[in-house]
Amino acid sequence: MNKRTKKYHEILHAHSYEKGGFDLPIRVTMALYSRWGPGDAFEYRKKPLMSVNMVTMGPAEYVQDGRKGVVAAGQVFLAHKGCDQRFATGNAGFLHKRTVILDGWLLDVLIERTGLKSADVVTPQDPARIALLLRRIYALFRDKPAGFSEASAALAYELIVALAASIAPQQPAVLRRSLEFIGRSLARPIGLADIAAAGGMSLRQCNRVFVRHLGRAPMKFLINQRMAIARGMLLDGAMPVKQVAQRVGYDDPLYFSDQFKKRFGAGPREFRKEGKR
C-alpha cells in the first residue's frame, strides 16, 4: 500500500527483468529524477524494494518505522525494504532528488554486512561521486544501450560501497574485526563465542555492539548472511542443495532446508524450481 500526496514532477525510467533469466546479484529496477513542491509527499507500507535517494536541493523530512529526521542537500536517504515510510518536502518548500530503486539477493547481504541496514541517512564522504553514479545509472535507464542492466548493476554496487565507506568510521574497530571474521567463516560452523573472540569482546559486549550498530544480534546477523548467499547460489546455478548447505556453514542439509524454508517460505529445491525472487 502506498499513498501519493499532491502531484510532484517526476521523470522515471524502469526495467522489468525476465523471470528465468540470469538473476543479477544486484538489480536496478528504476531510476528517476524528482522535483517536489510544498506539501508533496509519498508514503509506503512495508515497502517491497529498497531505494537510494539523494537530495540535491532543499531539505526533505522522513519517517521510517517511527524514526524521524531531516535529509539535507548532499545527503542520502536509504528507504529500506520492508519498512513503513513517509518522505516529504521539508520546510524550504521545494525538494529536488535523484533516486534508484534496487533489488537482488546480494543487495541484502551488502546492506546488512556494511551496516547500512541500520542507517536512515548517510552523509557521503564524496557527494559529487554519489551524484555522478546516480546520473550515470539514470542515463543508462533512459537510453537503454546494449548491456545496460549489467552496467547499471555494476554502478549500483559501486554506489553501495561508496555509501558504506562513508559510514565505516562510525563502526567501532571491535565490530569491524568481528564482521571480517564472519566474512571469512561463512563456510564453517561458528558460534557467538567465536564471533566475540574475533573482535576481542565479551559475549555481552558483542551482543550489545551488534544490536547498536547493525540492528540485530550476532547470530541472527550471521544466519541472515548465510541464507541470502544460499538464495543466490540456488537461483544462479545447479549446485546440489547439500553442497549449497556446506558452502554456507551447514553440515546437516535437513537443518539447512528447515532454516531456509523459515526465511523464504519454501524449501531449497522448491525455491529453485519455482525461481522465486
- In this prediction, residue 19 carries a pLDDT of 67
User: What is the average per-residue pLDDT within 199-226?
Assistant: 91
Q: What is the pLDDT of residues 245-257, one digit of tens each?
A: 998 999 999 999 9
Residue 51 has pLDDT above 90, yes or no: yes
Q: Are 161 and 116 in contact (CB under 8 A)?
A: no
Count other Cβ atoms within 10 Å, centred on residue 205.
13
Cell numbers 499513498 label which residue?
A: 3
Higher-confidence residue of 6 and 58: namely 58
The domain over range 173-274 is classified in CATH as 1.10.10.60: yes
Q: Which CATH superfamily is domain 2-169 in?
A: Jelly Rolls (2.60.120.10)
| Stretch(es) of the chain classified as CATH 1.10.10.60 | 173-274
User: What is the average per-residue pLDDT within 172-190?
Assistant: 88
pTM (predicted TM-score): 0.78
Residue 30 has pLDDT above 60, yes or no: yes
- In this prediction, residue 109 carries a pLDDT of 87
What is the distance between the alpha carbons of residues 153 and 174, in angstroms, rounded to a whole number? 31
Residue 112 has pLDDT above 90, yes or no: no
Helix/strand/coil (H, E, C) string of 12-27?
Answer: EEECCCCCCCCCCCCE
Rg (CA), the chain: 20
Stretch among 133-147, 177-191, 224-238 having the lowest mean pLDDT: 224-238
What is the distance between the alpha carbons of residues 259 and 43, in angstroms, rounded to a whole number? 33
| Mean pLDDT of all residues belonging to the chain | 89
